[in-house]
Amino acid sequence: MKRILSVGFLVLALPFLMATVSYGQVRKSKEISKLVKKAPRTEAFQFAVTVTTDGKQKQYDFVSLKDIDQEKLTDIEKKLLETFADVAFCFNGSKVHCCYWVKDADGKLGLMKLDGSILVPPLKGNIYHGTLPSRVVVGEQTVKPENWAGEFCNRVTKHTGRGLGHFDAVVDDIRDEKKIRATIPAGKYDDIMIGLKGSHTYYFVARLIDGEMKWGVVDKNDKEVMPIEAKGIYKKKGAAQWLIGNVGGKWVASETMDMSEIDNMVRNEELMAEQRRQQLAETLTALGNTLQQAAVTVEQIQQKTGGGGDSYGASGGSGGGSLESQYRQWENRAKANYESLTNLGARVKKDGKDVGGSTGQSMSSSNYTQQKKALREAQKEMKSIRQKASKKGIKITKSEYEDVVVKF
């Protein structure tokens, strides 16, 4: 995906900077909580922080400087209000962003330091929580706000080698007015994605070179780890990583696959790893059931109770459990295919359940055909297993993913 940013143009579009710094009081972060205490909250800005590994989010509040007594504003704040369509403080209780959120006439979002200087100029896209509570990414355009937390937690809790998002800048220590800075400033790279290796943050970064996007890797401080010269970058997992999670592995450069193709490849690897986990769990469960049943049978023979009929009845129940587990395995596969197809598109729900969706033309037609074929195969197996169970008098609750439909 190409995203070219001309930071020179953005800076020239803000000619007022920073004549205003030469006069007027600079706002202190400790003053903000008192200043916004009784002011009305505005819905003109939104920001959410991922707080748990299940994807739940904690919403931050905003107060527009337009809703604060103008006599309490500094000269810098008044100048910002003259320059931008809206300016706001962002906070959650006593946790305050030590900067101004600004929105220009075109709805682009940026961040300005408390002294009025540019932290990140207004950019198209959203501002999201990064890999730490004190870190944000700016200019994200590909992941929807309601999906960011789930996608973020997917990268943290799984062994995935996929990058997250496509944005323009990174700001660190946003809650510390002395340390706040643009770790990766807008305009340095033409595209940025979050990459994770265990608990360590990295970034996939790209530049347009001779008309082609080239990728590399930098660490959390923007120090080069891999040079920007590959068609695509991903993390190759270690030998046991599929079992124990997002640890180890190494960065691998590809000259045959771009980042979109790599994303699809790793998604398929994730699906296969999940299936291996399920198969292992089912094997252990089946083995435990078999040993338990054998113990019951031996005890019955020793007691000469003639309870063979009851033993066969238990076996029949075990068979039902096997069909149920098979059905749920295919359900998980169908769900994974559905989520992969609709990740950057749209999902349709009815009564809280997924009933359909669209890719939003976010993937190639060949990838769509392959993923759609896998979804249909899973749905066919689900239907067959459910019908087989029904003939044996076993009822399996039909899954929403047995009928879900995805369009291109």
Q: Report the SS3 class of residue 226.
A: strand
| Single residue among 205, 222, 256 that ends a domain in this structure | 256
Q: Are 23 and 101 in a shared domain? A: yes
- Residue 28 CB neighbour total at 10 angstroms: 10
| pTM exceeds 0.85 | no
- pLDDT at res. 242: 40
Q: Report if residue 83 sits inside a domain.
A: yes
Domain boundary, last residue among 256, 285, 320: 256
User: Helix count (H) and strand count (E) of the chain?
Assistant: 8, 22
At residue 272, the pLDDT reads: 53
Q: 313 to each of 288, 290, 316, 317, 318, how far by Cα in Å?
A: 18, 14, 5, 6, 9
Residues 6+ apart with CB under 8 A from 350: none
Residues 6+ apart with CB under 8 A from 358: 342, 345, 346, 406, 407, 408
Amino acid at 290: T
Token pair in block for residue 248:
């180890």
Determine the pLDDT at residue 399.
92
Mark whether 24 and 163 lie in a shared domain: yes
Answer yes or no: do 379 and 240 share one domain. Answer: no
Assigned domain for 82 exists: yes
286 plus 219 within the same structural domain:
no
Is residue 368 situated within a structural domain? Answer: yes
**What's the mean pLDDT when you consider all of the chain?**
79
Give yes or no: residues 86 and 176 share one domain: yes
Q: Which phi and psi angles does 285 have, rounded to 5°?
A: -65, -45
| Residue 219 and residue 327 in one domain | no
In a domain, 261, yes or no: no
Q: Do residues 183 and 117 both lie within one domain?
A: yes
Q: Are residues 226 and 349 located together in one domain of the fold?
A: no
**237 located within any domain:** yes
Beta bridge partners of residue 107, listed in sequence order? none
State the pLDDT at residue 344: 74
262 within domain boundaries: no
As a whole number of angstroms, the distance between CA 135 and CA 129 comes to 6
**164 within 8 A of 150, measured Cβ to Cβ:** no
Same domain, 203 and 279: no
> Is residue 1 included in any domain, yes or no?
no
Looking at 256, 290, 319, the residue that finishes a domain is 256
Are 184 and 279 contained in the same domain?
Answer: no
pLDDT below 70 — which residues of the chain? Answer: 1-24, 50-57, 157-161, 237-248, 262-321, 362
Consecutive H or E run containing 48: strand 48-50
Tens digit of pLDDT for each residue in 300-323? 555 544 444 333 333 333 444 588
- Which residue carries 């973020």 as its tokens? 152
Residues 285, 250, single domain; the answer is no
Burial degree of 136 (CB within 10 A; 0-12, 13-18, 19+): buried
* Tally of structural domains, the chain: 2
pLDDT at residue 19 in the model:
41
- Specify whether 234 is located in the same domain as 293: no
Residues with Cβ < 8 Å from 246, sequence gap 6 or more? 155, 156, 157, 158, 159, 160, 196, 197, 198
**Rounded distance, CA 135 to CA 269, Å?**
30
The pLDDT tens digits of the residues spanning 175-195 come to 999 999 999 999 999 999 998
CA distance readout (Å), 25 to 71, 74, 169: 13, 6, 28
* Beta carbons of 373 and 330 less than 8 angstroms apart: no
Non-local (6+) Cβ contacts of 353 within 8 A are 400
Query: Is residue 228 one of the residues assigned to a domain?
Result: yes
Q: Which residues have a Cβ under 8 Å from the Cβ of 61 and sit 6 or more positions away? A: 36, 41, 90, 91, 92
How high is the pLDDT of residue 121?
A: 95
In one-letter notation, the amino acid at residue 92 is: N
Q: How many CB atoms lie within 10 A of CB 12?
A: 10
Helix (H/G/I), strand (E/B), else coil: 96: strand
379's tokens = 């749905």
**Domain limits at 360?**
267-407
